[in-house]
């Protein structure tokens, strides 16, 4: 059989060999079959459509009109706030240290987070001297001795009585009866009464045994830390055994108020929140929805756009709820009773800034009927609804157009007005 080289004229003219012709023919047949199948599917689908479907496909889209009725109802707007459970009215308790400037070190501590501090409770030992809690209005400012008088002595006597130690007459004079009450207080805490006398304990005992004058009574001001409205709860302990102390050291932080929920709120929204307002909230790991009242609103000094809201629960939260996440629903706007409202999207404004609504035609199927323009006055907007002035509002139940469109137009088209929707 002659080769292609033996037929130079055919090779130069690009004459196909039999193998190449078969490949081309297969490609052509494949393309033809695919086109035929596609055309057949289109024809078959058109035959399967119902007359109604074919008519709908051939006709233009019908105009769309969305309406809503004028309603008379109460409206309110709420915001969801996130926050946490915290202690209220936290107070830092600092020691009253000796006036001689001697070194002060925490030797022993009886302060534990979550526990209560009661009148006369032993709190700590600082440089060998016990420290007790006592009720009062001001810290002691001097050391006391027999015969001293004044408001500080009266405060000491009242504090001892509240702690269960009778100081005798509450007359503001330090007598032997108050001295005995102080000695009992120290003994019950495991400390010798000798700590109340100026001079060493040995010298005091020797003087008493020999019949001489005993050392004078000296009640150091550092013996007590004064707190108002005991008992209080310890929310934090600020020192550890071995720590050096000074007048600025915080022994502990206490509170005598209930746990509160603190949450952040925008300053704009906070302007509509009032103290005493009812609130619902939930607390992490606490079952059910809880109720409370707004006990305070404070602006953030570092961010003028934010404020803090404080919620006092109607039922006290457990002590271990401190630090848990909370979520509150707070009403920031509400109507005074039932009012006439429409969706805010139904209110439009013309070029002069006047508001109006479009009343839907009574005969919805009448293509020749046009919507009626009805001027209104919007008193406020609450939760997506425009509250209308009673004197300008359409009657309750009237249908207003929220959105409408015609063939080839957008839903924002306005047939009856000269302004844009607002």
Output the pLDDT for position 299.
92
CA-CA-CA-CA torsion sign (163, 165, 169, 174): negative
In a domain, 324, yes or no: yes
pLDDT band at residue 210 using 50, 70 and 90 as cut-offs: very low
In a domain, 58, yes or no: no
* Mean per-residue pLDDT of the chain: 84
Q: Is the pLDDT of residue 152 over 50?
A: yes
Output the pLDDT for position 257.
82
Output the pLDDT for position 93.
95
> pTM for the complete prediction?
0.55
Q: Is the pLDDT of residue 259 over 70?
A: yes
Which of 204, 220, 254 is the endpoint of a domain?
254
Q: Is the pLDDT of residue 198 over 80?
A: no
**Residues 314 and 352 both lie in one domain:** no
For the segment 52-65, the average pLDDT, to the nearest whole number, is 62
From CA 322, how far away is CA 253, in angstroms rounded?
A: 14
- Both tokens of 271, joined, read 């302007």
- Say if residue 136 is exposed, middle or buried (CB neighbours under 10 Å; 0-12, 13-18, 19+): buried
**Residues 246 and 97 both lie in one domain:** yes
Tell me the CA end-to-end span of the chain in Å, nearest whole number: 90
Which of 287, 310, 334 is the endpoint of a domain?
334
**Residues 100 and 240 both lie in one domain:** yes
CB atoms within 10 A of CB 23: 10
3-state secondary structure of 181: helix
In a domain, 59, yes or no: no
Q: Is the pLDDT of residue 268 over 60?
A: yes
Output the pLDDT for position 412.
45
CA dist 206 → 145, 211, 216, 332, 414 (Å): 21, 9, 14, 76, 108
**Residues 311 and 180 both lie in one domain:** no
- Say if residue 57 is exposed, middle or buried (CB neighbours under 10 Å; 0-12, 13-18, 19+): exposed
**349: domain CATH number?**
2.40.420.20
pLDDT tens figures, 393-408: 999 999 999 997 765 4
Contact, 380 vs 339, CB < 8 A? no
From CA 393, how far away is CA 387, in angstroms rounded?
A: 9
Q: Where are the beta strands (DSSP E) in 64-135?
A: 64-69, 71-73, 76-87, 91-93, 106-109, 116-117, 122-126, 129-135
Which of 334, 359, 381 is the endpoint of a domain?
334
pLDDT band at residue 365 using 50, 70 and 90 as cut-offs: low
For the segment 3-22, the average pLDDT, to the nearest whole number, is 51
pLDDT tens figures, 326-354: 999 999 888 889 999 999 999 999 999 99
Output the pLDDT for position 87.
87
**Residues 190 and 227 both lie in one domain:** yes
From CA 106, how far away is CA 241, in angstroms rounded?
A: 5
Taking phi over 0 as left and psi of -120 to 50 as alpha, with beta for the rest, 82 belongs to: beta
DSSP 68: E
Output the pLDDT for position 24.
56
**Residues 276 and 225 both lie in one domain:** no
Please give the residue that has the higher pLDDT: either 411 or 164: 164
**Residues 260 and 346 both lie in one domain:** no
From CA 80, how far away is CA 420, in angstroms rounded?
A: 33
In a domain, 103, yes or no: yes
**Residues 359 and 391 both lie in one domain:** yes
Peptide bond into 360 cis (omega under 30): no
Please give the residue that has the higher pLDDT: either 81 or 229: 81
For the ranges 187-191, 213-217, 335-339, 414-418, the one whose mean pLDDT is highest: 187-191
For the segment 99-110, the average pLDDT, to the nearest whole number, is 90
Q: Is the pLDDT of residue 247 over 70?
A: yes
pLDDT band at residue 51 using 50, 70 and 90 as cut-offs: low
From CA 300, how far away is CA 222, in angstroms rounded?
A: 38
Q: Which residues contact 285 (CB under 8 A, 6 or more apart)?
A: 324
The number of domains in the chain is 4
What contacts 24+ positions apart, CB below 8 Å, involve 186-193?
Answer: 186/130, 189/122, 189/130, 189/132, 191/130
**Residues 304 and 400 both lie in one domain:** no
Contact, 279 vs 78, CB < 8 A? no
| H or E segment and range at residue 32 | helix 18-48
Please give the residue that has the higher pLDDT: either 414 or 63: 63
Q: Which of 10-14, 243-247, 260-264, 380-384 has the lowest mean pLDDT?
A: 10-14
**283: domain CATH number?**
2.40.30.170
In a domain, 54, yes or no: no
Percent residues over pLDDT 70 in the chain: 76
CA dist 85 → 282, 286, 310 (Å): 10, 12, 10
From CA 69, how far away is CA 401, in angstroms rounded?
A: 9
Q: Which of 8-12, 47-51, 86-90, 92-96 has the lowest mean pLDDT?
A: 8-12
In a domain, 303, yes or no: yes
What is the residue range of 374's domain?
64-75+337-421
pLDDT tens figures, 287-309: 899 999 999 999 998 999 999 99
**Residues 300 and 222 both lie in one domain:** no
In a domain, 175, yes or no: yes
**Residues 209 and 104 both lie in one domain:** yes
**Residues 116 and 213 both lie in one domain:** yes
406 HSE (CA, 13 A, CB side): 6
In a domain, 248, yes or no: yes
Output the pLDDT for position 193.
95
Q: Which of 1-5, 43-47, 67-71, 169-173 has the lowest mean pLDDT?
A: 1-5
For the segment 358-374, the average pLDDT, to the nearest whole number, is 81
Q: Which of 121-125, 273-277, 359-363 has the lowest mean pLDDT?
A: 359-363
Please give the residue that has the higher pLDDT: either 97 or 28: 97
Output the pLDDT for position 17.
53
């Amino acid at each position: 059989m002659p080769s292609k080289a033996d037929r130079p004229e055919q090779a130069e003219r690009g004459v196909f060999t039999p193998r190449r012709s078969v490949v081309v023919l297969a490609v052509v047949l494949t393309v033809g079959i695919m086109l035929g199948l596609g055309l057949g599917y289109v024809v078959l689908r058109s035959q399967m459509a119902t007359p109604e479907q074919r008519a709908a496909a051939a006709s233009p889209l019908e105009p769309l009109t969305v309406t809503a009725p004028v309603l008379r109802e109460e409206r309110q707007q709420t915001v969801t706030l996130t926050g946490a459970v915290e202690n209220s009215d936290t107070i830092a308790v600092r020691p009253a240290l000796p006036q001689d400037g001697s070194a002060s070190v925490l030797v022993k501590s009886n302060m534990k987070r979550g526990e209560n501090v009661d009148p006369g409770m032993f709190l700590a030992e600082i440089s060998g001297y016990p420290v007790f809690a006592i009720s009062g209005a001001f810290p002691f400012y001097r050391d006391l001795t027999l015969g001293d008088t004044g408001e500080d002595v009266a405060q000491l006597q009242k504090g001892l009585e509240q702690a269960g130690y009778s100081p005798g007459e509450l007359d503001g004079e330090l007598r032997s009866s108050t001295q005995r009450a102080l000695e009992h207080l120290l003994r019950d805490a495991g400390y010798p009464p000798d700590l109340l006398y100026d001079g060493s304990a040995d010298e005091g005992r020797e003087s008493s045994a020999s019949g001489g004058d005993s050392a004078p009574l000296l009640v150091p001001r550092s013996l007590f830390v004064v707190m108002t409205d005991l008992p209080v709860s310890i929310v934090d302990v600020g020192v550890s055994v071995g720590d050096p102390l000074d007048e600025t050291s915080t022994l502990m932080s206490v509170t005598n108020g209930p746990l509160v929920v603190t949450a952040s709120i925008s300053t704009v929204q906070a302007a509509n929140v009032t103290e005493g307002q009812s609130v619902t909230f939930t607390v992490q790991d606490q079952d059910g929805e809880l109720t409370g009242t707004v006990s305070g609103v404070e602006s953030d000094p570092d961010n003028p756009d934010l404020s803090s809201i404080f919620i006092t629960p109607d039922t006290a939260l457990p002590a271990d709820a401190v630090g848990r996440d909370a979520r509150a629903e707070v009403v920031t706007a509400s109507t005074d009773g039932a009012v006439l409202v429409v969706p805010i999207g139904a209110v439009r404004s013309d070029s002069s800034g006047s508001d109006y609504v479009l009343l839907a035609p009574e005969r919805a199927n009448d293509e020749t009927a046009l919507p009626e323009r009805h001027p209104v006055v919007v008193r406020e907007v609450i939760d997506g609804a425009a509250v209308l002035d009673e004197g300008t509002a359409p009657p309750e139940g009237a249908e207003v157009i929220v959105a409408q469109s015609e063939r080839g137009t957008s839903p924002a088209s306005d047939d009856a007005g000269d302004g844009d929707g607002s």
